[in-house]
Structure 1
Amino acid sequence: VLFREECIFRREIRLNSKVFISTKIGKIKADASRWTIVHELKNETDELFAIISVDGAWIDTKLRKIANPTPKIAADVMNAMPKTTDFTTL
């Protein structure tokens, strides 16, 4: 579930622009239950078009409550993702 989504625009993206997207973890709880993921949109010369940040958590859809991800998702996916330069734990 997403709690917040923010986009900061830095440069115009034109119809013929090539866009490269990187995805990194900005913040994460030790159990990977809550997190911030940062997407950077850049052109072929590494100029920044936009930064999209999302804060979220895993949810148990049956209980309708925040939940921890499976250990495999936490270890193999969330904790294995590249980190931002200002990465912190929650």
Structure 2
Amino acid sequence: MEAFTQNIQVRWSDLDPNGHVRHSVYFDYGAQVRIAYLQKQGFGIDWMKSHGIGPVLFREEAQFHRELSAGDQLVIDVQLSRLSKDNRKWSMRHRIMRGDEICATLNLDGAWLDLKSRRIAPPPKELLEKFETLERTEDFQVFPRKKEE
């Protein structure tokens, strides 16, 4: 499986009046890394538009472990934590790290959205082949499609 990380420096504009990183910034960091991963694999915004498919999120949550400060050098990874048998739905995890210290963990659930029908759909084969190479979490699971879908 392929590990993907991105380095990010905490900026002054990421802070609230108390000098803490604003909670919404953690989610921005995660989105930046996910999109960077897809772009590196050749599936950027233009590819998604031309193929009529894109990611959609259902849930995103953060666990904050350590305080971050302006200027901190972070490494943020992305791992696949769940994938449906039909490859339409997935879950990911990001670890936001300063050195060896995990400062926050983001967990999210999403799917591939057919941009024309506005319905959840399996990704094109070439996207799936690259997506399946993403590093998996230690507790990775395959989950079945629900009967009501």
Same-fold call, TM cutoff 0.5: yes
- Structure whose residues are more often helix by fraction: 2
With structure 2 as the length reference, what TM-score do the two structures score? 0.57
Q: Residue by residue, what CA displacement relative to the aligned partner does 1:20-79 show, whole Å, maximum 9, x if unpaired? A: 0011000011332100010100111x1111001110001111111111100111112x21
**Post-superposition shift, 1:18?**
1.0
Which entry has the higher C-alpha Rg, 1 or 2?
2
Find out whether 1:68 has 2:122 as its counterpart: yes
Runs of 5+ in structure 1 lacking a partner?
none
SS of alignment partner, residue 53 of structure 1: strand
CA-atom RMSD, angstroms?
0.9
TM-score w.r.t. the length of structure 1 is 0.93
More strand by share: 1
Residue in structure 2 matched with residue 86 of structure 1 by the alignment: 139
* Structure 2 portions without partners, runs of 5+: 1-55, 144-149
Larger RCO: 1 or 2 (CA < 8 Å, sep 6+) = 1
Correspondence for 2:65: 10
Report the identity percentage: 33
Corresponding residue of 1:59? 113
Structure 2 partner of 1:41: 96
> Aligned equivalents of 1:53 and 1:32: distance in 2?
18
